[in-house]
Structure 1
Amino acid sequence: MSLQAELPFRCAAVLGAGLMGRLLALTLAQAGSEVDLFEAGGPEAEGAAARVAAAMLAPLAESAVAPPAVVRMGHYALDRWPALIAPLAAPVFFQREGTLVLWHRQDAAEAARLQRVLAHTGELVPELPAMRMLDAAGIEAAEPSLGRRFAQGLLLPDEGQLDNRALLTALLATLQALPKVRLHWHSPRTVDDFAPGEPGQPERVIDCRGLGAKPQWNALRGVRGEVIRVHAPEVTLRRPTRLVHPRYPLYIAPKPDHLFVIGATEIESDDMSPASVRSTLELLSAAYAVHSGFAEARIVEIATQCRPTLPDNLPAVRQLRPKVMQINGLYRHGFMIAPAILDVAMELLATDRSALAGRFGLATRLE
């Protein structure tokens, strides 16, 4: 089915203005629907998991913790992001320079285990570009600022990243400019507030509230993450870099103007309290071990957020009842898989069927 298929309805309500809600509201409007977007918070997405994210688009790298279905969604999304970004009202940083994976000598056994996992993923998802082994000279050629600090590494070609906050801002500006879109800030709504199809009601309701939907989706849980944003003028990295470690595998995602997002922690908790001293020290120490220029970096922000997660750690698109759709459970892969989930949802909204859902292993999750 074409993603350009005509929608069988003229107006829709979208609940939640995080990443998924904004993408869906915009795509519905572009397809000709009037859209009311309801958000419990304000336009800055301060309560959204998408605001506290590194926005790495790394399907092979994430296969260390993600099944092939998620990897396929991530690979699909890499080619979709440029088309989604192109019509936005403001520019968004996006690049596909690959992912660099490094390790210290004492973690060579953990690195070997990771290589086996990535190689197995390559067998299961052969459309992925193959990883490349790098020696010290290869690492230096890929990231000159690292010199020959590391003896071995991996380059995962064509993986990418984008600027999450610039994207949220650009989506907002684009939605604000569309006459078919009405934005309702500080206006929490649940699916029970609507009777879709009744007079004066939207014809469809799509719930994208993440953890805000927990009262209607009891299986949802929060998985806590902590990230640090630093400004490091002495550090130059061309691509996201991951450091193999048996306890806290670190990532460093470079953004424009020498801003870096550093993270690693994943805690089974819906605790939203500030980051601990221990995890902050571990993150910063590991970053310094990758590049000594981080010693003089300035900490811009230390943030925590909980990702909406279902028991199997997989995303779900489900029909709660006729004309009411729920999208949730994107877990730690929100930016990586959002375009795939978006296109599945649009196929379902247009025809009640989705070839992509079957391709991504989502068919059994439609209820």
Structure 2
Amino acid sequence: MAEVTVLGAGVAGLWAARELLAQGITPRVIDRAGAPGPHGCSWWAGGMLAPQCEGAVTEPIIVRHGAEAAHAWGKVTELQRKGTLVLALERDRAELDRFAARTEGHRQVNAAEIAELEPHLAPRHRRGLFFETEAHLDPRRALADLVAALEADGVTVQCAEALPEALSGPVLDCRGFAAHDVLPELRAVRGEMVLLRAPEIELSRPVRLLHPRHPLYIVPRGGGLFMLGATQIESAARGPVTARSALELLSAAYALDPRFGEAEIVEFGSDLRPAFPDNVPRITPRGRVLHLNGLFRHGYLMAPTLARQAAAFIATSEKGDLFHED
């Protein structure tokens, strides 16, 4: 088979390269900004592998395929398999009932059980849901570990400007929103996050705080660091985190535990998530280019499965079938 080029070194592109190697194909990986960093959407992710929780707002296919993510990531990077705790303030307890009705794989927990799971949250919360099988990881470490695994197999990320039509041979396009010019249905959904340092607070797992307007998740990163996310704004505008978003995220964290009010703000960040109208990612053939895109807020959850499917499709396709010249 002709050399396969992977465009984009975010979570989708790196997993695509890994899965191509598993098919016996050595890929070339190109990214206009080089190795993963703040320039990419994957850098700003929460790193939650929480398919059951996502079932409250997404399609069943995400839940089904997302259930495979923790197993795949566990072969690449350090993984925390401690579940997800979902809480709501007493005034918002109806949100907890609605969340429970829309999801599976949880059990109800009372104040004593919450205190056992997360002692630092006691006695502020009386009811919750515990999704025991879910997991989380540190996205930046996971990206670095993916890059290191590829380099061990002789694949490096090349820093270069490249468009699919200018390349020869099969192309697996994983550029995210940068591919919107050839995928007209693709839209941008802006997400914003805050990284806090609060060494006096200890959490061992992601905690979701439900709210009618400003739902929040907090993911522990170790060493007293916590990632707060994330806004979901229908906008293609890049730029710093807005004051409104910062207030919403920080206010929700304060509501979860007032001690977050004394936390040190380490970092604000934002980027554009690529999404199709139904918010379900897809693999789209276009001539000799195969697009893997639209991961929306499910990048770390869905990248392993989609990459495996794309790599298998490439490996089993004849050059004159999928990969023909336009």
Bin the TM-score by the shorter chain.
over 0.9
- 2:210 and 2:216 in contact (8 A); partners too: yes
Paired letter, 1:338: A
Q: CA RMSD in A?
A: 1.6
Q: Which of the residues 232, 239, 242 maps onto 1:273?
A: 239
Distance (Å, rounded) in 2 between the aligned partners of 1:220 and 1:265: 19
Equivalenced residue count is: 318
| Other structure's SS at 2:231 match | strand
State the match for 2:129 in structure 1: 154
Query: What are the superposed Cα offsets for residues 121-145 of structure 1, whole Å, 9 maximum, x if unpaired?
Result: x3xxxxxxx3110111111011111
Q: TM-score, normalised by structure 1?
A: 0.83
State the match for 2:9 in structure 1: 17
| Other structure's SS at 2:278 match | coil
Distance (Å, rounded) in 2 between the aligned partners of 1:326 and 1:229: 32
* Distance of aligned partners of 1:290 and 1:308 in 2 relative to their CA distance in 1, 3 Å threshold: same
Calculate percent identity across the aligned residue pairs: 40
- 2:219 and 2:226 in contact (8 A); partners too: yes
Q: Equivalences for 1:147-296 in 2 at 5 Å? A: 147-179=122-154, 181-185=155-159, 187-196=160-169, 204-296=170-262
Paired letter, 2:130: L
* Distance of aligned partners of 1:272 and 1:251 in 2 relative to their CA distance in 1, 3 Å threshold: same
Distance (Å, rounded) in 2 between the aligned partners of 1:103 and 1:182: 45
State the match for 1:356 in structure 2: none
Paired letter, 1:260: F
Distance (Å, rounded) in 1 between the aligned partners of 2:37 and 2:20: 20
| Structure 2 residue 48 is matched with structure 1 residue 56 | yes
- 2:23 and 2:315 in contact (8 A); partners too: no
Distance (Å, rounded) in 1 between the aligned partners of 2:307 and 2:85: 28
Alpha-carbon distance, 1:230 to partner? 1.0
State the match for 2:111 in structure 1: 136
* Distance of aligned partners of 1:178 and 1:79 in 2 relative to their CA distance in 1, 3 Å threshold: closer
- 1:93 and 1:256 in contact (8 A); partners too: no
Query: What are the superposed Cα offsets for residues 261-312 of structure 1, whole Å, 9 maximum, x if unpaired?
Result: 1013100111112111122112112112212332232111101111001111
Distance (Å, rounded) in 2 between the aligned partners of 1:183 and 1:115: 43
Name stretches of at least 5 consecutive residues in structure 1 with no aligned partner: 1-8, 86-91, 123-129, 197-203, 354-367
State the match for 1:306 in structure 2: 272
Query: What are the superposed Cα offsets for residues 45-102 of structure 1, whole Å, 9 maximum, x if unpaired?
Result: 332111011010111111121110111111122222212x1xxxxxx33111111001
| Structure 2 residue 37 is matched with structure 1 residue 45 | yes
State the match for 2:73 in structure 1: 81
